[in-house]
Amino acid sequence: MNEAPTPGGGPPARRHEKYERLVAACRSIAPVPTAVVHPCDATSLGGAVDAAKEGFITPILVGPAARIRAVAQAEGIDIAPYEIVDAPHSHAAAAQAVGLVREGRAGLLMKGSLHTDELLHAVARRESGLRTERRISHVFIMDVPTYPKPLFITDAAVNIAPTLEDKRDIIQNAIDLARALGIALPKVAILSAVETITPRIPSTVEAGALCKMADRGQITGGLLDGPLALDNAISPEAVKIKGIQSPVAGQADILVVPDLEAGNMLAKNLTFLANADAAGVVLGARVPIVLTSRADSVMTRMASSAVAALYAHRTRIAEPVKG
């Protein structure tokens, strides 16, 4: 089915309509040269080639050349148009892909059939990696059929127990992404269990501090509020019932979770209980990193590539816009 009911009645929401808009926005940009790291299974190799066929990326396939060609032949995937950079194993592939970015040959990284930690270890190396002054963080861009706009959730995949300083960077990364995707002033809800600052719940104290940091210009480009419980971040009806006065409550674009456990459970709840799709990208390095899962749908993979490509272009990492 392609439709889902909306809260409180009204016309049903179409599946993927937010992702379809992202994909459509990529039609006007030139493909981004992308180092695809160790694409040694059908899912990762096919996903990279599909994104290339859509015109989002130009893959550079980095990994054991014989294995890549064997997968392509077994699965009927045409990789003839794409460069292969031979690397003996996944560790070497991650290092060589990072090197392609440092040389200016690639404007994106895309995870293949290796563990996320293995790729991010190569990215985070101090001397040979792609570190910036920002903390590296992950953002889910979720297409939730019952929510009227894309929903950004951070960080649910990289930072396990972020500090206050880490959360500043996590929020700034997410704001920058949302702005690059066309949201002029992203509304950021910093989540906890309650709406009041309660010392026994440390995430409420951090939420208050983060809002004050935004007031002082330490976080820019977004509108922050918190602490907010999840219902009051996304439900106008819950906000009305509780009498909360806030320009963010009930209409958040970005949900900032207290830690990775909470974020991972929230994203998977939306995926498996609300039929949402979760595209993912890692930010804070010199280039965006496309993270996909073997369980991702074709549309989710396309959306992850589209998000990263748009971000790369709109932050002047990639080549000029077509035409």
**Terminal Cα distance for the chain, rounded:** 37
Contacts of 119 (CB under 8 A, 6+ apart): 37, 94, 97, 109, 111, 289
Residue located via tokens 């709109």: 314
Q: pTM to 2 decimals?
A: 0.90
Q: What is the DSSP string of 218-284?
A: SS-SSEEEEEE-HHHHH-HHHHHHHT---SSTT--SEEE-SSHHHHHHHHHHHHHHS--EEEEEEES
Q: How far apart are CA 252 and CA 133, in angstroms?
A: 27
* Lookup result for tokens 């599909």: 50
Backbone angles phi, psi at 215, to 5 degrees: -60, -30
Coil, helix or strand at residue 85: strand
Strand (E) or helix (H) holding 23: helix 17-25
Q: For each of the chain's 323 residues, which pLDDT tens digit applies? A: 344 444 444 444 556 678 788 778 777 788 999 999 999 999 999 999 999 998 999 999 999 999 999 999 999 999 999 999 999 999 999 999 999 999 999 999 999 999 999 999 999 998 889 999 999 999 999 999 999 999 999 999 999 999 999 999 999 999 999 999 989 999 999 999 999 999 999 999 999 999 999 999 999 999 999 999 999 999 999 999 999 999 999 999 999 999 999 999 999 999 999 989 889 999 999 999 998 776 677 778 888 998 999 999 888 644 333 33
Helix axes of 298-314 and 17-25: crossing angle, nearest 10 degrees: 40
Task: For residue 94, give the nearest of 69, 68, 130, 121 by alpha carbon.
Answer: 121
